[in-house]
Amino acid sequence: MAIVVQKYGGSSVATPEKIKNVAKWVIKKKLEGNDVVVVISAMGDTTDELIDLAKKITEHPDKRELDALLATGEMVSSALLAMAIKSLGYDAISMNAFQIELLTDGTYGKSLIEDINERAILDRLKEGKIVVVAGFQGITEDGDITTLGRGGSDTTAVAIAAKLKGECQIFTDVDGIYSVDPRIYREAKKIDEISYEEMLELSSLGAQVMHSRSVELAQKFNIPIYVALSCSDIKGTYIREVEIVEQKPITGIAVSDSDVAITLQNIEYDTNLLSDIFEAVASKKINVDMISQTAPIHNKVNLSFTIPKDDLRDCLDVIKPYYKKDEIIIDEDITKFSVVGLGMKTTSGVASRIFKLFKQNDIEVKMITTSEIRITCAIKQQDKMKAVGLVAKEFNL
């Protein structure tokens, strides 16, 4: 029997009614002759509410205890869904991270998955059960609970699909992947298929549809992911290996307001210093995205880099030894605007078209980074919509 791993997001299980409806669709998949594993997110905004609750206790909740708290969201939804399936006359069982031995590297709040005991799941499937796994959570070797980062249930689903060599379907509140988030650009078009590489860039750059580590994992194990609207037959989007065939240069645009730029002014022009700073940042597992450095003048440079806003406090703590008080500027007015496309590998002039548009429309570019298939600019937040509209029209997205 084919194994299908279906993941349902928080909005798909926001109410008891919705959970009962998901149960029907899960059973439908089972009746088509599949072994079905369901990975589930917490109901609706539960995770946000739990974070708010913790913040009412203390501004900076202990990370271990925060993970222990957040993991409860998925415990609730998985038990409810298993109950719903059983009440419709089909066998099901909810399983948490302890029960499937989903081992992580132990980093609170953003753990990486190290292993899963596939036997635990396979044995239940063999008994004819639909297995409902609590997403987002893992355990350490010491038996602590850790979570995989916001949106991490996608990664739970892909990891299980990879382990069981099953198909992976991600059901969510949007009916596929769009060239631009339709909430930002209404005319955005749905994409039939998108490469792992492009999706990875888009999701790590702020496209909210998929947890970026889930795409990384899918690429590593070559697991196609089907992303579609929950409880519907509307055709969604495949994320999989795609060949470049006369691609348009740009496949999608992503924007994100969740970064902050740190500039260290007039620091020594010294590679050791540079390496020390970024080593300190890395020691806190903070993801640095854009980096730029000015040309040295009298042996001094300005160094700028962006990190997630949430990591600002930790970052300032660890880089404190490397700058003097008046040397640092923190700029929170940053939108990371990125265009992504496999076609950029073979098409030239994309950057120049974008910068021309920005120049004609007074959009200031604060920082730039590029890869083979993407260009990212840090712009002011007030210019976000304008930039999206202009570039989407220019490239017919």
Binding-site residues for substrate, in ranges, read 47, 74
Query: Closest CB to ligand ASP among 41 and 304?
Result: 41
Are 164 and 5 in contact by the 8 Å Cβ rule? The answer is yes
For ligand ASP, the closer of residues 157 and 250 by Cβ is 157
Question: Tokens representing 319?
Answer: 């880089």
Residue with tokens 């078009």: 189
Adjacency order of strands within the sheet including 145-147: 113-115, 103-104, 137-139, 145-147
The 8 Å CB, 24+ separation contacts for 291-296 are 291/369, 292/367, 292/368, 292/369, 296/269
Structure tokens at 203: 């999701």
By CB under 6 A, tell whether 47 contacts ligand ASP: yes
Give the strands of the sheet with 237-239, arranged side by side: 92-95, 130-134, 34-40, 2-8, 167-172, 225-229, 237-239, 193-194
Stretch that binds ligand ASP, among 39-47, 260-268, 355-363, 364-372 (CB under 6 A): 39-47
| Total residues at interface with ligand ASP (CB under 6 A) | 12
Q: From the list 138, 151, 176, 341, which residue makes contact with ligand ASP (rule: CB under 6 A)?
A: 151
**12 is a site residue for ligand ASP (CB under 6 A):** no
Which residues, other chains included, contact 312 with Cβ-Cβ below 8 Å and sequence gap of 6+?
A: 260, 262, 330
CA-based max dimension of the chain: 77
Single residue of 151, 176, 206, 252 touching Mg ion by CB under 5 A: 151
Q: Do residues 171 and 184 make contact, with C-beta atoms less than 8 angstroms apart?
A: no
> Stretches 40-48, 110-118, 187-195, 250-258: which one binds ligand ASP (CB under 6 A)?
40-48
d(Cα 381, Cα 376) in Å, to the nearest integer? 14
Residue 150 binds ligand ASP, judged by CB under 6 A: yes
Contact 5, 169 (CB under 8 A): yes
With contacts defined by CB under 5 A, name the span among 30-38, 150-158, 229-237, 264-272 that binds Mg ion. Answer: 150-158
Given the rule CB under 5 A, which of 3-11, 21-29, 250-258, 268-276 is the region that contacts Mg ion? 3-11
Q: Which is nearer to ligand ASP, 13 or 373 (CB)?
A: 13
Site for ligand ASP in 106-145 (CB under 6 A): 135-136
- Residues binding Mg ion: number (CB under 5 A): 2
Annotated binding site for ATP: 7-10, 172-173, 178, 183
In terms of CB distance, is 73 or 249 closer to ligand ASP? 73
Q: Which residues bind ligand ASP (CB under 6 A)?
A: 9-10, 41-42, 47, 73, 135-136, 150-153
Q: Which residues bind Mg ion (CB under 5 A)?
A: 9, 151
